[in-house]
C-alpha cells in the first residue's frame, strides 16, 4: 500500500468518525429536546391543575362553611382532607410518583432504540 492509499483510508476513517460524532450529538440533542418539551408540557398542565385545585378548594371551603355555619370549620375540613391526601401520598410515593416518572423518562430516552428492536423482531 503506497502513501496515497494510506491517506485515502485515513481520510475515510477520519470522516467516518466525524459523522459518527455528529450523529451522536444529534441523537443527544433529540433526546434532550423531547425530554424538555415533555417536561414543559407536564409543568404547564400541573400549574393549571394546581390553580384549578386552589380555586376549587376555596369554593369547597365556603360551601362547607355555609352548611356548618362556621367559616373556620369549613376551611379546617378542607385542610384536613388535604392533610389526609398528603399523608397517603407520602406513604405511597414510590408506587404513585417515582416509578411512573422513572418509567416515563426511560421510555422517552430509549424510544428510538426500542422502536428499532421491535422492527427487527417483526
Domain residue spans of the chain: 3-91
DSSP 69: S
For 2-25, write each residue's pLDDT tens digit. Answer: 678 888 999 999 999 999 999 988
**Predicted pLDDT of residue 19:** 92
The pLDDT assigned to 1 comes to: 57
Residue range 37-43: mean pLDDT, rounded: 87
> Quick check: 106 and 113 in contact, CB under 8 A?
no
Name the pTM for this structure: 0.60
Nearest to 97 by CA among 42, 40, 32, 48: 42
d(Cα 90, Cα 82) in Å, to the nearest integer?
12
Question: What pLDDT digit, counting tens, does each position of 57-77 carry?
Answer: 999 999 999 999 999 999 999
- Summary mean pLDDT of the chain: 87
The dihedrals phi and psi of 92, each to the nearest 5 degrees, come to -115, 20
- What grid cell was written down for 83? 392533610
Q: What is the pLDDT of residue 81?
A: 96
Amino acid at each position: 500500500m503506497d502513501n496515497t492509499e494510506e491517506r485515502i483510508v485515513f481520510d475515510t476513517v477520519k470522516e467516518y468518525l466525524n459523522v459518527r460524532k455528529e450523529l451522536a450529538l444529534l441523537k443527544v440533542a433529540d433526546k434532550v429536546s423531547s425530554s424538555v418539551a415533555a417536561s414543559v408540557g407536564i409543568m404547564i398542565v400541573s400549574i393549571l391543575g394546581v390553580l384549578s385545585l386552589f380555586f376549587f378548594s376555596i369554593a369547597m371551603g365556603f360551601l362547607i362553611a355555609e352548611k356548618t355555619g362556621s367559616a373556620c370549620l369549613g376551611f379546617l375540613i378542607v385542610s384536613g382532607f388535604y392533610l389526609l391526601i398528603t399523608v397517603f401520598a407520602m406513604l405511597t410515593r414510590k408506587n404513585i410518583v417515582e416509578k411512573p416518572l422513572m418509567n416515563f423518562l426511560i421510555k422517552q430516552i430509549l424510544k428510538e432504540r426500542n422502536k428499532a428492536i421491535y422492527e427487527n423482531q417483526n
